[in-house]
Amino acid sequence: MQYPFTEEQLALADLTRDFMEREVAPVAAEMDRRTDPKDCYPGELLNKASHLGLRTMAVPEEHGGIGADTTTKALCLWTGAQIEIGVIKCLSQCWKVSNAIFKCGSEAVLEKWGKMFVEDHDCVGSFVITEPDYGSDNVYRQSDPAVGLKTSAVQDGDYFVLNGAKRFTSLTSWAKILLVFARTNPDVPLHQGTTCFLVHGDQEGVTYGNVHDKLGYRLYPNAESYYDNVRVHKDDILGEVDKGFQTFATVFRGSAELPACNTGIARGIYNFCLQHAKERIQGGKPIIEHQTIQHMLAEMLMNIEVAEQFMWRICWGVENDESYNTRFTRYGKVFSDQVALKTIAFATDILGGIGIMKETPTEKMMRDLLTFLHGDGTDSITLLRAAQTLDEPA
């Protein structure tokens, strides 16, 4: 691996790989095929991962974690994604939630919500933003106050009363900590009048709808949720009033999560294709000896390795470059999405019919890659977000 990882980072990657191979790989295919998406949630596996310290990896050392940085999280996510994406993505969600809580939380928040997250091995969280009528409008900055999420938060003394509906949000039905984004000032643009509230998953007034029946990432479920006069104390605000998207940016400004997911799965597909090419006999010899197959494997690996190197550049920039531009984050997502599609195209050619059979891991991996192309916004909206920074230096 041509990157200067520390011994601690490599040890954590080995721990992740061992856990994923030992605990997840033997059961992932069966869990993925369960008819009811509610039955795909890997709660027992996440509990086991938590006892190894993987769930709380991003928590600062003084609060019981190891304070994993961007590179460490990306390395572990990339490692796990080569084996099974759903479980490791659930853990990555925990890293994002704990990152937000411990970076943006007041002392009261850390004592209540931070302590709860660290001590409960079954505690996961959910960023609750997307609504039935508002998805891309929530991430693409626009000046019209009428645009964007409509969940409201009206102050009533020391409390805020939340009302609204959300959908497509990750781990929502199982989350003990909901980070609910609601409009506290509907008269200004979304990014100037939204607040992030910490809400108990079983709090009065919170109900849940469908768990979405997805093509892939089935071990990382998404669901609907509804908020009917949910009362949240002002001490349970994460960050500041009207500055919810600053809290959001703390987590997503320099994230390498999506490139790590895409390149990790793509690596898993490549590894299977390479082994298959060495074993499959056509034309009287292993197909890897045919130049056409060699060319496809070489181009597949070239695409993956270029995307990986840019991912590590993102990680380094977030941690070391004060002038880091968020469009690098956007590029990492879009480019790795494009690499994902090319990987699928090459794999279906190299593998032929066996590649889409449920008896092989590549069938699930291809579904997983296709499922998350819209993650953190479609590629089109992501490039529009990057275009808003064209005049800024790299």
- Digit-coded pLDDT (tens) for 212-231: 999 999 999 999 999 999 99
- Rounded Cα–Cα distance for residues 32 and 158 (Å): 44
pLDDT at 394 over 80: no
CATH code, 253-387: 1.20.140.10
| Rg of the chain over all Cα atoms, to the nearest angstrom | 21
Which band of pLDDT confidence, cut at 50, 70 and 90, is reported for residue 354?
A: very high
Average pLDDT, the chain: 96
What are the pLDDT digits (tens) for 23-63? 999 999 999 999 999 999 999 999 999 999 999 999 999 99
- Average the pLDDT over 364-386 and give the result: 94
- Rounded Cα–Cα distance for residues 374 and 311 (Å): 18
Interhelix angle 43-51/85-104, nearest 10 degrees: 60
Q: How far is CA 168 from CA 150, 235, 385, in A?
A: 15, 27, 21
Got the DSSP string for 222-290?
Answer: EEEEEEEEEEEEGGGBSS-TTBHHHHHHHHHTT--HHHHHHHHHHHHHHHHHHHHHHH-EETTEEGGGS
User: How far is C-alpha 257 from the chain's CA centre?
Assistant: 6
CATH code, 125-242: 2.40.110.10
Q: How many CB atoms lie within 10 A of CB 140?
A: 17
pTM exceeds 0.85 for this model: yes
pLDDT of residue 253: 76
- Rounded Cα–Cα distance for residues 261 and 80 (Å): 9
For residue 75 the two structure tokens come to 């390395």
- Rounded Cα–Cα distance for residues 394 and 386 (Å): 12
β-partners of residue 314 are none
For 305, residues 6+ apart whose C-beta sits below 8 A from its C-beta are: none
Domain ranges of the chain: 7-119, 125-242, 253-387
Domain at 7-119, CATH from 1.10.540.10, 2.120.10.90, 1.10.760.10, 2.40.110.10: 1.10.540.10
